[in-house]
Amino acid sequence: MARQSPIMPLAFEARQKLDLPITENADRLPDYLLQQERVVGAMLDASKLTPLGEGSYRYNVTSFKVFQLEVNPVVSIAAVNSEGKLRMHATDSELDGLGLVDDFVLKLDATLEATMNGLEGEALLGVTVSPPPLLKLIPRQVLESTGQSILSTILLGIKARVRKQLVDDFSEWCKE
């Protein structure tokens, strides 16, 4: 009897850098980054973010479709302030929408740093998951390139939000 080889999980990741010049009140940026809940809420969609306690959040990532399947990732995020930086990383994740998937791992490592010129940041978003039964007929390279594209789109969306919403929120905070 031939043994079936185990299915290798799919793995893909995307990285995005941020260089956001801020001239007005730039000296107040380190203090602003200490307003952790406010900053995390301005970076992500606050309506999908649930604070769980000091430095801990649950985030319902925007739903998206993969080959006609609706996917709803949920991630737990830990945020830590140190040395003028706000660091965030995923502590747990789950995936709704692909049927039974128990090996889904979402990796998030992001840093936002106050500099003399504004804010600098970098985010790495990665996923490891076995292909669900409904997608087993689609070639692995197609699935991985699609996954990579989706992650890049998510990071670009967050970058756009940061460029607009975080700057607006910082200005508002400076006025308070």
| 176 residues of the chain, pLDDT tens digit each | 444 445 678 888 999 999 999 989 999 999 999 999 999 998 888 888 999 988 999 998 777 666 666 777 889 999 999 888 999 999 998 877 555 566 788 899 999 999 988 999 999 998 888 777 777 788 888 888 888 888 888 888 888 888 889 999 999 999 98
pLDDT confidence of residue 80: 95
With CA atoms as reference, report the closest residue to 47 among 35, 58, 33: 58
With CA atoms as reference, report the closest residue to 62 among 160, 173, 167: 160
**Model pTM score:** 0.81
> With DSSP H G I counted as helix, E B as strand and the rest as coil, what are the percentages for the chain, rounded to 5?
35, 40, 25
57-61: which pairs have CB atoms within 8 A and are 24 or more residues apart? 61/154
32/36 Cα distance (integer angstroms): 8
pLDDT confidence of residue 5: 44
**160 contact partners, CB below 8 Å, separation of at least 6:** none
pLDDT confidence of residue 151: 86
168/148 Cα distance (integer angstroms): 30
With CA atoms as reference, report the closest residue to 90 among 48, 114, 56, 46: 56
